[in-house]
A and B are shown apart, each in its own frame.
Chain A
Amino acid sequence: MTPVAVMVGANRIVTAAGIIHPMGNAELSPADEKALRRRIVEKALQALQTEVVRPTVFTSE
């Protein structure tokens, strides 16, 4: 859904793990799933510290 986020003008957009589980993935082991979630949150924190002037997509992988 990141193109929609860009279209509506969200400034800092992080690609996550999918519509039905943006912050996880049921197919991974619990430990791997949590590591995935941590990477996405850390990418979001990195995005928050990045100056942007237009909708900008940060990829988490």
Chain B
Amino acid sequence: MTTLRVVCYLNQFFGRLGGEDKAGVGPQVVTGAVGSARAVQQALGEAGTVVATVLCGDNYVAEQTERAVADLVALVTAQGPDLVVAGPAFLAGRYGVACGALCAAVQAQLKVPAVTGMHAENPGVDLYRRQVYIVQTGGEASRMLDEVRRLVALGLKLVRAEPLGAPAAEGYFARGLTHNTVVSENAAERATAMLLEKLAGRPFASEVPLPDFPKIPAPRLVKTLEGATIALVTDGGLVPQGNPDKIEALNATRWGAYSIEGQQGLDAAKYDNVHRGYDTTFVKQDPHRLVPVDVARELEQRGVIGKLHETVYSTTGVATTLAHSARMGREIAEQLRAAGVDAVILTST
């Protein structure tokens, strides 16, 4: 069996350059295994050789990530590795983000497997777990060799293109990928078994993990209503006739911005609705049943609100992925903020 060429990535601390005083040092390479890369060599045994250790200070990477990662990838490339092992970073945030970014870049550019390891609360996990195999570690380096053995075991499987088990079995963070597997019990039997475990108060694991919705702090309306600009937004599929922005009928990735300037209300003849998740007959008859421009305009004219924002934002919220929803929300919010909007009424079906 050929001996694999392995390159390790470490920060200034685990690479024995120094502590926070050395966090600004730039990318560099040392021949062989230094610092915690020695544990990688130990875990590899006969299977591979740590040919080089690439090092960089945490602050250096954090402050100029793109450039630092490009330089680090160049250093890694020069070593001709079969496998890259970054970290483990445990709970060190800057280090974890650097490990994730480097592994993602190495995989994409060198087509070489890369693994890293972190604690569940390291910010690098959420940023990179979809792209990179991140082994779950403890928070501290007290069991370094044990943790590194698990990184190396996973890395060797990747290099050898051996089939990987489920995230929980292999000890890495779920990447959000779906694999088909053949199981002996059908869905009804598995669901019944799960229900019996639940009724008995025993632990059970769902096969369909629910998305994790982060808690968003509720902002306060700092102005009085009489001085506030209010915008109308909808995920109910309102579009102008002809759907100029080609907003999808479901699984939307696009949104539209439609002017209502000078309009007392929405003229049904000028609007359509592309939402394929509810019966749109009634909102096509009268778009105000979805977006209350008529009433909001009257409240503006009566001085109840300071101003009705002259642009309505719209998309379709049906089978829309959480990632696209979050992105579209962010994009619309940026425009609203730039336009000086103080609050939003979002009508949803």
State the A residues within 8 Å of B (CB). Answer: 1, 5, 7-9, 11-12, 16-17, 19-26, 33-34, 37-38, 40-42, 44-45, 48-49, 51-53
Q: Which of A24, A41, A44, A52 contacts B282 (CB 8 A)?
A: A24
Would you list 6 pairs from A and B whose C-beta atoms are within 8 A, ordered by A residue? A11-B217, A20-B283, A21-B289, A24-B283, A37-B295, A45-B225
State the B residues within 8 Å of A (CB). Answer: 213-218, 220-221, 225, 230, 236, 278-283, 285-286, 288-292, 294-296, 298-299, 304-305, 343, 345, 347-349
Q: Which residues of A contact B299 (CB under 8 A)?
A: 38, 41-42, 45
**Which A residue sits closest to B291, measured CB to CB?**
A23
Q: Which of A9, A11, A23, A51 contacts B292 (CB 8 A)?
A: A23
7 closest A-B pairs by beta carbon, nearest first, are A24-B289, A11-B218, A21-B289, A21-B282, A44-B345, A23-B292, A38-B295
Q: Which of B220, B221, B345 contacts A41 (CB 8 A)?
A: B345
Question: How far does the alpha carbon of A19 sit from the alpha carbon of B283 in the complex, in Å?
Answer: 10
B38 to chain A, nearest CB (A): 45
* B213 and A8 within 8 A (CB): yes
* B216 and A49 within 8 A (CB): no
Q: Which of B278, B294, B348, B349 contacts A34 (CB 8 A)?
A: B294
A15 to chain B, nearest CB (A): 11
Question: How far does the alpha carbon of A9 sit from the alpha carbon of B343 in the complex, in Å?
Answer: 17
A50 to chain B, nearest CB (A): 9
Q: Which residues of A contact B218 (CB under 8 A)?
A: 11-12, 51-53
If A21-B283, A51-B218 touch, whether A45 touches B305 (CB-CB below 8 Å) is: yes
**Which B residue sits closest to A38, measured CB to CB?**
B295
**Which B residue sits closest to A35, measured CB to CB?**
B295
Q: Which residues of B contact A51 (CB under 8 A)?
A: 218, 220
Question: How far does the alpha carbon of A48 sit from the alpha carbon of B341 in the complex, in Å?
Answer: 13
**Which A residue sits closest to B296, measured CB to CB?**
A41
* A16 and B343 within 8 A (CB): no
Q: Which residues of B contact A52 (CB under 8 A)?
A: 218
If A34-B295, A41-B299 touch, whether A22 touches B236 (CB-CB below 8 Å) is: yes
* A48 and B296 within 8 A (CB): no
Q: Which residues of A contact B280 (CB under 8 A)?
A: 20
* A26 and B225 within 8 A (CB): no
* B278 and A16 within 8 A (CB): no
If A1-B349, A45-B225, A53-B218 touch, whether A26 touches B292 (CB-CB below 8 Å) is: no
* A7 and B348 within 8 A (CB): no
* A9 and B213 within 8 A (CB): yes
Q: Which residues of A contact B213 (CB under 8 A)?
A: 7-9
Q: Which residues of B contact A37 (CB under 8 A)?
A: 288-289, 292, 294-295
Q: Which of A1, A9, A23, A45 contacts B216 (CB 8 A)?
A: A9
Q: Which residues of A contact B295 (CB under 8 A)?
A: 34, 37-38, 41
Question: How far does the alpha carbon of A3 sit from the alpha carbon of B282 in the complex, in Å?
Answer: 24
* B343 and A22 within 8 A (CB): no
**Which A residue sits closest to B282, measured CB to CB?**
A21
* B282 and A9 within 8 A (CB): no
